[in-house]
Amino acid sequence: MESVSDMKDLLSGPSGLGTSAARLGRPEAVAVVDPGYAERPWGDGTAPPMYVPVLEREDELLAAAVDERLVAWAEGCGFEEPERFLGGRFGRLAVLTHVDTDDVEQLLIAAKLNAAWWAADDLYADSTEMGAVPEELPPRLALAMAAMDPVAPAAEFTAELEEVLNDDPVLVGLRSGIAHLASRSTATVVQRVCYSTFAMFVSWSAYAAWRHTASYPPAWQYLATRQHDTFYTSMTLIDAVGGYELPAPLYYDPRVRQLLTAAGTASVVVNDLVSVEKDAADEKPVCNMVLQIEADRRCSREEAVERTVELHNQLVRDFEAGHKALLAVPSVELHRFLKGVKAWMGGGFEWHTTHPRYQ
């Protein structure tokens, strides 16, 4: 196993005469076809196109197989309408975004956790029609953390906690999803996923406070908060689904983390763009980058959409440039992971712009 100093050397890259030729001679450095990036229309086609990675895989049969297993899992978690998860098409999301495996059990890692995260978002945080109550969100999320990252036994108090954790389908789903991840990955990856989720929960609590008080933030503050509530959380599953582990010194290197933050934020800005009408129509409007820009600048919805698309496209180009800069690092795991991040962005765009939820 590489030491921390070894990893720093990798990120610095080899130097001196002949080192580029040496890199080219490594088996893992063999060139592969990169589908690249493209400007894609979306919505009704009237807004500016989004600059996104080209979609790498669409496999309806594989997605259906994952979704079928996912619905059975959701029923076991206690959701009253498990077929809603088939409608959610989280199996398709996993297939579109995790392109380096066609193993159903591996893809279910992403499908289960994304379904559970979306359920928590809808039922706890976002949709008042589905029972979300902003002032009740933080205590609910505290229990969600206990479901994902088990707390120490505490005599009779543990029995009471377990009763609650086993009675709420969202909590059962989060616990079950993490258990599936743990059975097929490492403790290190499990904790990365937990703590990226918990950072996301902090942002959800901020949104709840803004909605509860009807004191909405300026766009810059919303975006700063949103950058800890992005598809970065989903992207922490890339190596787990692929069946490997990106070493911690590489995963946490500031340059790598900045790329993941840009990619996750770009992908969640897609969500804001396709969700804006639904978010604005809620009894207590959901925070959304388009809506915050519209309120700040007192501009039209169309102008706010245009500026949000510009932000998205800049984030994607920042990722593209940063990714190229790290190609010199001689780490097969890093290159596989960053290629997976790129594929996630392309697949996430496809899923959001074709999903009935956002039409």
Using one digit for the tens of pLDDT, what is the confidence trace for 175-214? 999 999 999 999 999 999 999 999 999 999 999 899 888 8
Instruction: Kindly report the number of other CB atoms within 10 A of residue 159's CB atom.
Output: 10
Token pair recorded at residue 39? 């400007």
| Single-letter amino acid code for the residue at 110 | A
Give, rounded to a whole angstrom, the gap between the first and last alpha carbons of the chain: 48
Write out the H or E segment, with its range, that includes residue 53.
strand 50-53
Residue with tokens 């996301």: 200
DSSP 46: -
Alpha-carbon distance of 207 to 226, in angstroms, equals 9
Instruction: Say if residue 33's pLDDT is above 80.
Output: no
Token pair recorded at residue 123? 């039922």
Alpha-carbon distance of 253 to 331, in angstroms, equals 13
CA dihedral 234, 240, 242, 247 (to 10 degrees): 110
pTM score: 0.89
Which backbone phi and psi does 56 adopt, to 5 degrees? -100, -25
- Residue 18: pLDDT band (50, 70, 90) is very low
| Single-letter amino acid code for the residue at 285 | P
Write out the H or E segment, with its range, that includes residue 50.
strand 50-53
> 50-106, pLDDT tens digit by residue?
999 999 999 999 999 999 999 999 999 998 877 765 567 999 999 999 999 999 999
**CB 197 within 8 Å of CB 148:** yes
Alpha-carbon distance of 200 to 137, in angstroms, equals 13
Alpha-carbon distance of 354 to 349, in angstroms, equals 9
DSSP 227: T
User: At a CB cut-off of 8 Å and minimum separation 6, what does 304 contact?
Assistant: 290, 291, 293, 294, 297
Tell me what the pLDDT averaged over the chain comes to. Answer: 89
The DSSP annotation for 304-322 comes to HHHHHHHHHHHHHHHHHHH
**CB 94 within 8 Å of CB 108:** yes
Region 234-248: mean pLDDT is 98
Helix and strand numbers (H, E) in the chain are 18, 2
Exposed, middle or buried, 9 (CB in 10 Å: 0-12/13-18/19+)? middle
Domains annotated for the chain, with CATH where assigned, are 50-358 (1.10.600.10)
Share of the chain above pLDDT 70, in %: 87
Write out the H or E segment, with its range, that includes residue 180.
helix 169-184
Max Cα–Cα distance, the chain, nearest Å: 67
Give the 3-state secondary structure of residue 38: strand
